[in-house]
Structure 1
Amino acid sequence: MPDEMQVNIGYIPLTDCAALVVAQEFGIFARHGLRVHLKRETSWANLRDGIVLGELDAAHMLAPMPLAITLGIAAPRQPVITAVGLALNGNAITLALPLHERLRAMAPDLPGAQLARTLKVLLGEDRRAPMTFAVVSTVSNHYYQLRHWLRAGGVDPDRDVQLVVVPPPRMVEALQSGKIAGYCVGEPWNSLASEKGVGMPIVGSSELWSNVLEKVLGVREAWARQHPETHLALIRSIVEASRILDSAGGRREAGPLVAAHIGVDPAVVGLSLLGQVPGLAGPAPDFHVFHRYAANFPWRSHALWFLHQMRLAGQCAMDPDARATAWQVYRPDIYREAMAAQGESIPFLDTQVMGTHAAPWTLPAVPDALQMGPDLFFDGQIFDPGRNGRAPE
């Protein structure tokens, strides 16, 4: 049985905290014997510090963040693990309206995923100070996706533009004030820029890399060892809530509750949950994925891809120690323990080759095969983690 204790879980006001909200508001945590307090944080740095200092037991985290904290990247070193995913996809790149209009005048039909090519031309013509773009953290998919998008268009993210960190709730304000030319952030902060007439989303993260792991539940490794049954109950609760969010009607019912927790107009959050984001092709049912496509499984191949991006950004070395960190931090073994008796289909392996499926496909799993979604990168790359899913020797 879970410990008789209150579990303090931090979250950032984003649409993809939805599984935590549903687990709390639908009484799922309570049914699993948990007393949970959800604490809204203002920035990823604050949330990170809450975990490091032990003020939070668990947190809604950027998928690369448990790795970064464990390695001591942009944070004091503290072993953190994740054994369950919270969401796939959910980000977008948004440009200030004047910049968007200039680029579209030059390339009216170019897909948003390729619009950095036109930005490259514009930067070559513009002799003013480098444009500034914002991300929510330097150890986030937003940072790596924005850098990937820029590089694919021939823009050097370290020389041709300036990248800064802005907390998600401050993004629209920074865009409106002219401090930044664009950003990569999770919903609903892209939709809000459009609603206020200050920005336009141009490409969603699901178009840059289909079904990338975006958020996870991170916990301090020491806390998980001290409270193993509580940790397992958290995982089961989140999977149950995630299943509701990907069910018929689940998102519409959850929309007002999520909006209340993040402090945003319920209409905007409701449309975001349904994949109706201005400027993007929609409605896109896979803009947010909470349970489908093994979304809750903590793939170590994702961990290795994040470490690869950290290496490209000069944040860490991709050496055997870093690879071992992926196995230390991403814990499918704990997920399997939590879900073994729950009737949930579980993959056999811990890693998979990514970037080879343009259409839905079937993954071997037990007790039943899993239906998976596309996993293409927008520039055609393939990421092969190697070793056939085995732990490092």
Structure 2
Amino acid sequence: MTSKATHIQAGYIALNDAAPLIIARECGFAEAEGIDLHLHKETSWATLRDKLAIGLFDVAHLLAPISVAASCKLFPLPLDIVVPMALGLGGNMVTMARSIWDGHAPASGPVSFDAGAAGARLKAMIKDRRARGNPKLRLGAVHPYSAHNYELRYWLAGCGIDPDQDTDIVFLPPSTMPDALRSGALDAFCVGEPWNSAAILDGDGVLLTTKGHIWQNSPDKVLGVRRSFALDQQEAHYALLRALYKAAEWIESPANKEELCRILSAPGYIGLSETRLKPGFNGAIKTGLTDPERLNMPDFYLPLSRAALFPKESHALWFYSQMVRWGHVELSDDHIARVRASCHPEMLRAALAPLDIALPDTQQDILSAQDIQSPIASDQGLGSLGPDVFFDRIPFDPDALAAYVAGQRVSKN
């Protein structure tokens, strides 16, 4: 590294999908781009968000809906950021406490992780608990403005469960979820890997369903970049985006999975055993059950394929629609314009131009309309899009957002 290397301060949470930042540093991709990347591990999303807001971080591994909330000015501290890059697709699961599962387990036969089937099973559990006079299930998510919260709510409502009346949803940092499940503070949670696998492999959890079953190839985290850094240090900003692209490419290669988990297992990074890290990367998900013992889901987490790094307006607007649906923000043309403006694929295009990477032609499309993968113009780089179907198969058209929200309700079927 030369003396002219640019120092970049980056915050992250100990999750598998922070891997691009960690690998960019550890495998030399940042250094090769002239970046001296300093990584700072935080426990909670609120702390990470605030440190980004006050300028302690230049960039951060960030919950995608936090960027949407920031664009709508929903935080006490102004968070002026741009989103030039997403940080993968998928990577979350819903895990239930074994003690709760064992009291309501199916009598026999294999368990389905299909979101509809899992939701029906959960609805029956809730009905049974109500009849017994048991308290409502307490479900954990990582932050009010998170994919976890909104996808959990979407799934519950679509299965006839009112998330506000039939359950209690509380918010905890990701790394505390397994302990909360073990102690009985939570009955189930939705969190990113490796914290589901940690609970399951410790014998405390049972898999209910996955993010990919609720919404195929769906977004979760983004790279949040302070606007002042993105504009004032454009060369360094673009260099970091190239380093993260190369890191994602390295992560996705099957040949690197062992080394990847070894690096992330270090106490300074995620700090869990390689055994607990691997399922979230190779898609061989332990279920905590005997039938089936394992769920094989090769596309459980995609760091690069299917345009996983591309920041799409349609994704941001879907999260906004759920904020409106659940009363977290008002619907307004000003908010919609701000949410659209928060996504900056032109920055990613400019940064990756020297690498001749194929990127989608549009950042807005109708979600849940694509049942199969479709090619991007070139067969280089990101290659294909989709499928992106919601479990209830209801499409989302960003240009008809108000009608979409108006048509949503808790299904009682």
TM-score of the superposed pair, with normalisation by structure 1: 0.93
Deviates more, 1:43-52 or 1:253-262: 253-262
Q: Choose which of 166, 173, 186 in structure 2 pairs with 1:180.
A: 186
Measured after TM superposition, the shift of residue 77 of structure 1 is 2.5
Measured after TM superposition, the shift of residue 75 of structure 1 is 4.6
State the match for 1:391 in structure 2: none
Q: Is contact 2:9–2:38 with CA below 8 Å preserved after alignment?
A: yes
Distance 1:182 1:277 in 2: 17
The 3-state SS of whatever aligns with 2:86 is strand
In the superposition, relative to structure 1, how do residues 371 and 217 fare at CA in structure 2: closer, same or farther (>3 Å)?
Answer: same
Measured after TM superposition, the shift of residue 121 of structure 1 is 3.0
Q: Is contact 1:93–1:185 with CA below 8 Å preserved after alignment?
A: yes
Distance 1:107 1:161 in 2: 27
The 3-state SS of whatever aligns with 1:292 is coil
Q: Return the letter of the residue paired with 2:362.
A: L
State the match for 1:16 in structure 2: 17
Q: Does 1:136 align with 2:142?
A: yes
Measured after TM superposition, the shift of residue 192 of structure 1 is 0.7
Q: Choose which of 301, 311, 324 in structure 1 pairs with 2:324.
A: 311
Query: 1:38-53 maps to which residues of 2 (within 5 A)?
Result: 38-53=39-54
In the superposition, relative to structure 1, how do residues 106 and 164 fare at CA in structure 2: closer, same or farther (>3 Å)?
Answer: farther
State the match for 2:270 in structure 1: 262
Q: Is contact 1:245–1:251 with CA below 8 Å preserved after alignment?
A: yes
Query: 1:192-203 maps to which residues of 2 (within 5 A)?
Result: 192-203=198-209
Q: What do the CA deviations read for 1:152-197 (whole angstroms, capped 9, x no partner)?
A: 1211111111110010110011111111110000000000111111
State the match for 2:403 in structure 1: none
Distance 2:178 2:240 in 1: 33
Query: 1:325-336 maps to which residues of 2 (within 5 A)?
Result: 325-336=338-349
Query: 1:87-98 maps to which residues of 2 (within 5 A)?
Result: 87-98=88-99
State the match for 1:117 in structure 2: 120
State the match for 2:29 in structure 1: 28
In the superposition, relative to structure 1, how do residues 217 and 310 fare at CA in structure 2: closer, same or farther (>3 Å)?
Answer: same
Q: What do the CA deviations read for 1:189-211 (whole angstroms, capped 9, x no partner)?
A: 00011111111122111111111
Distance 2:108 2:76 in 1: 41
Q: What do the CA deviations read for 1:252-296 (whole angstroms, capped 9, x no partner)?
A: 321111222111111211232111221286332211101100111
Q: Return the letter of the residue paired with 1:55.
A: L
Structure 1: tracts of 5 or more residues without a match: 388-393
State the match for 1:191 in structure 2: 197
In the superposition, relative to structure 1, how do residues 366 and 359 fare at CA in structure 2: closer, same or farther (>3 Å)?
Answer: closer
Measured after TM superposition, the shift of residue 81 of structure 1 is 1.1
Tell me the percent identity: 32
Q: Return the letter of the residue paired with 1:263.
A: G
Distance 2:171 2:53 in 1: 20
Query: 1:190-229 maps to which residues of 2 (within 5 A)?
Result: 190-229=196-235
Q: Is contact 1:256–1:270 with CA below 8 Å preserved after alignment?
A: no
The 3-state SS of whatever aligns with 1:213 is coil
The 3-state SS of whatever aligns with 1:95 is strand
Structure 2: tracts of 5 or more residues without a match: 401-413
State the match for 2:169 in structure 1: 163
Deviates more, 1:34-43 or 1:339-348: 339-348
Distance 1:106 1:61 in 2: 41
The 3-state SS of whatever aligns with 2:220 is strand
Q: Does 1:291 align with 2:304?
A: yes
Q: Is contact 1:133–1:181 with CA below 8 Å preserved after alignment?
A: yes
Q: Choose which of 372, 378, 403 in structure 2 pairs with 1:359.
A: 372
Q: Return the letter of the residue paired with 2:197.
A: S
Q: Is contact 2:113–2:213 with CA below 8 Å preserved after alignment?
A: no
Distance 1:364 1:101 in 2: 50
Query: 1:135-154 maps to which residues of 2 (within 5 A)?
Result: 135-154=141-160
Q: Is contact 2:306–2:382 with CA below 8 Å preserved after alignment?
A: no
Deviates more, 1:294-303 or 1:118-127: 118-127
State the match for 1:276 in structure 2: 284
State the match for 2:390 in structure 1: 377
Measured after TM superposition, the shift of residue 251 of structure 1 is 2.4
Q: Is contact 2:148–2:191 with CA below 8 Å preserved after alignment?
A: yes
Query: 1:72-111 maps to which residues of 2 (within 5 A)?
Result: 72-105=73-106, 109-111=111-113
State the match for 2:407 in structure 1: none
Q: Return the letter of the residue paired with 1:266.
A: E
The 3-state SS of whatever aligns with 2:30 is helix
In the superposition, relative to structure 1, how do residues 117 and 282 fare at CA in structure 2: closer, same or farther (>3 Å)?
Answer: closer
Give the number of aligned pairs. Answer: 387
In the superposition, relative to structure 1, how do residues 369 and 171 fare at CA in structure 2: closer, same or farther (>3 Å)?
Answer: closer
Q: What do the CA deviations read for 1:359-392 (whole angstroms, capped 9, x no partner)?
A: 32223469889322321111111112239xxxxx
Measured after TM superposition, the shift of residue 106 of structure 1 is 6.3
Q: Return the letter of the residue paired with 1:38.
A: L
Q: Return the letter of the residue paired with 2:368.
A: G
Deviates more, 1:272-281 or 1:29-38: 272-281
State the match for 2:359 in structure 1: 346
State the match for 2:404 in structure 1: none
State the match for 2:252 in structure 1: 246
State the match for 1:301 in structure 2: 314
Distance 1:298 1:57 in 2: 19
State the match for 1:390 in structure 2: none
